[in-house]
């Protein structure tokens, strides 16, 4: 789960099975995941049996032949990462990101790839651990960025690239990426997030209220935002 830009996710009283959810929250948002259920209230759901998957080397070796269920592959990647088998975790996530299966879990896989890459670098205590995961992750984002505009994962990569360059104070590229999202991916969660950043930059950092108001007007009209 991810909550950004003044968002709130109510995930109380959920059944997570064997797997612990990965939660990412920025400083303006909140996720509540209290009172997890011990038993599945909906045994016929797609989560049934996930906790019974035996995570072994043989499982990983044969996953592409024996199981085409993206949900199982995604959760296997989580389990591998939690067991500190980062290479297997990233390989499984990359198989989803590369489109070998349906794209339902692709955005989450992209976020998890960064998380496990960072954990791997810290675990190995690399001398350049602050740079290595960023370089690997950015290379993956750029690879996705070069896909056709119609690719379902591409807007998420553009959004994450905007975040990465903003963290390095490269606001020129941050603006470029966010404006591209507004232009090419209207009426989407990625556009809304981009609009937030554009309004914030132009009003707080650039004091260009004409530009800020342009994007704020778009937010209010399309997403029924109240100010």
- DSSP per residue, 126-185: -TTTTTHHHHHHHHHHHHHHTS-TT-TTHHHHHHHHHHHHHHTT-HHHHHHHHHHHHHHS
Grade residue 18 by pLDDT with cuts at 50, 70 and 90: low
**Beta carbons within 8 Å of 161's beta carbon, 6+ residues apart:** 138, 141, 142, 145, 173, 177
Worst-scoring range by mean pLDDT, 63-67, 185-189, 195-199? 63-67
Structural domain spans, the chain: 1-47, 53-127, 147-227
Please indicate whether residue 144 or residue 37 has the higher confidence score (pLDDT): 144
Residue 102 in this model has a pLDDT that exceeds 80: no
**Beta carbons within 8 Å of 51's beta carbon, 6+ residues apart:** 17, 18, 19
In this prediction, residue 23 carries a pLDDT of: 64
Please indicate whether residue 24 or residue 155 has the higher confidence score (pLDDT): 155
Grade residue 142 by pLDDT with cuts at 50, 70 and 90: very high
Grade residue 176 by pLDDT with cuts at 50, 70 and 90: very high
What average pLDDT score do residues 63-87 get?
Answer: 73
Residue 27 in this model has a pLDDT that exceeds 70: no
């Amino acid at each position: 789960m991810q909550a950004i830009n003044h968002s709130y996710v109510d995930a109380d009283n959920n059944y997570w099975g064997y797997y612990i959810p990965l939660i990412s929250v920025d400083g303006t948002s909140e996720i509540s995941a209290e009172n997890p259920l011990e038993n599945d209230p909906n045994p016929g759901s797609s989560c049934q049996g996930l906790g019974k998957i035996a995570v072994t080397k043989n499982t990983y070796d044969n996953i592409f032949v024996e199981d085409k269920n993206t949900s199982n592959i995604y959760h296997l990647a989580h389990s591998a990462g939690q067991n500190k088998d980062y290479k297997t975790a990233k390989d499984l996530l990359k198989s989803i990101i590369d489109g070998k299966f349906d794209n339902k879990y692709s955005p989450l896989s992209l976020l998890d790839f960064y998380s496990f890459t960072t954990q791997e670098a810290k675990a190995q205590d690399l001398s350049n651990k602050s740079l290595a995961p960023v370089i690997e992750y950015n290379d993956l984002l750029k690879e996705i960025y070069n896909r056709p505009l119609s690719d379902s994962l591409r807007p998420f990569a553009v959004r994450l690239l905007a975040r990465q360059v903003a963290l390095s104070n490269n606001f020129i590229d941050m603006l470029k990426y966010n404006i591209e999202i507004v232009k090419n991916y209207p009426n989407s969660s990625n556009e809304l997030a981009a609009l937030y950043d554009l309004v914030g930059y132009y009003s707080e950092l650039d004091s260009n209220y004409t530009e800020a108001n342009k994007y704020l007007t778009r937010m209010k009209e399309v997403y029924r935002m109240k100010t």
